[in-house]
Structure 1
Amino acid sequence: MATRLLPINFCLLFLTALLFMASCMNSAEASDEFVKASCKTTPYPALCYTSLSNYASSIKTSQRLLVKTALKVTLDAGRNTSSFLVKLSGNEKTRKSKTGPVGDCVELLRNVVDEISKSVKEMDRIKDNRDIRFRISNVQTWVSAAMTDENTCTEGMTGKTVSAKVKRMVTEKMEVLEEQTSNALCLVNSYASHH
């Protein structure tokens, strides 16, 4: 009798494991589809999806977590760009840039990192509907200010005081950061429109 139940128990165990795996896969697929659909609404959907898809399992289908993750990704890009500019401004060949456009960009990027960092912290404070509009408004203001600072840095590279090589390097780095920030702001605005 016990030997007859063994195959049945094994089948039940196998089916339970299979159902669990299917539900996990459906959840993972739903999370990935949520990120993909949300990114389609942004100005740079391919960059959005590429930068956020690795976090889909932690985002799940939460718009708040999507926004917070997009801001964290933007913050990382801002920190990387800021570090690049600090190194560039300390380079012997660009040392005169500390007071010129590259030096200005270093200061502007410090502001960007601060503004995006404040935005991430503000998203952490959104736990329920209390003060949600006020907090989202703060995030919109800071991310918009970050975009302005980024644009100011890029526009400052148009003068003749910076070599073509430095201009190109800074502009390429800034372009990616500006696109990340633009996507993040779009997702913030979408989140705001639902509250």
Structure 2
Amino acid sequence: MEYCSLFNKSYFQVQVLNRFPNVTTKIDDYFQFTPIALGLGMQALGRRGEHKFLNQIKRLVLAEAFCNGTVTLIKTQTKHLRPDGTTRNSFPSGHTAQAFVAATWLDKEFGKNYPWVRYVGYSMAITTGVCRVLKNRHWATDVVLGAGIGFLSVDLSYRLFDRWEKKRNLIFSPMVGQDTFGLSIVYGF
């Protein structure tokens, strides 16, 4: 019976909160972005990544668009209640998705030449996800899906850019309106 209870998200959450009561850290709010800051800092110090700086930023922006679009779409469609009962936007974890976008981008750009950044970036991403559960803001399932969305968003961005760079038919353009802003991506076939 204990084995089956492990897959019950409410049971798991209760067990976590019993073992780690009253966690109130804010480190998850910072760690979700810190790997990006680390990568930009490495660039500023002359440590080059896999791509030129502008191409790194383009890949990151596209990954962020994929990630944020996916997370927002799923959150608005599923409306899962948070474990603390406050709002219906629990599934998936946006903090964790963002943290894994940042860590995966850092890994893809600098992990080959500086393997230690992989450990730093992914440690921050995992810490972010764990904190979201410990703070009772997300179910473990929210965090797992958030991590997957973040990782896959970067992977998709890099795959598309690699394909587009061969054809040289991709254009990015900012869009600014009275009350809106965005990014236009045009791909010619």
TM-score bracket for this pair, using the shorter chain length: 0.3 to 0.5
TM-score (ref. length: structure 2): 0.38
Q: Which has the larger radius of gyration?
A: 1
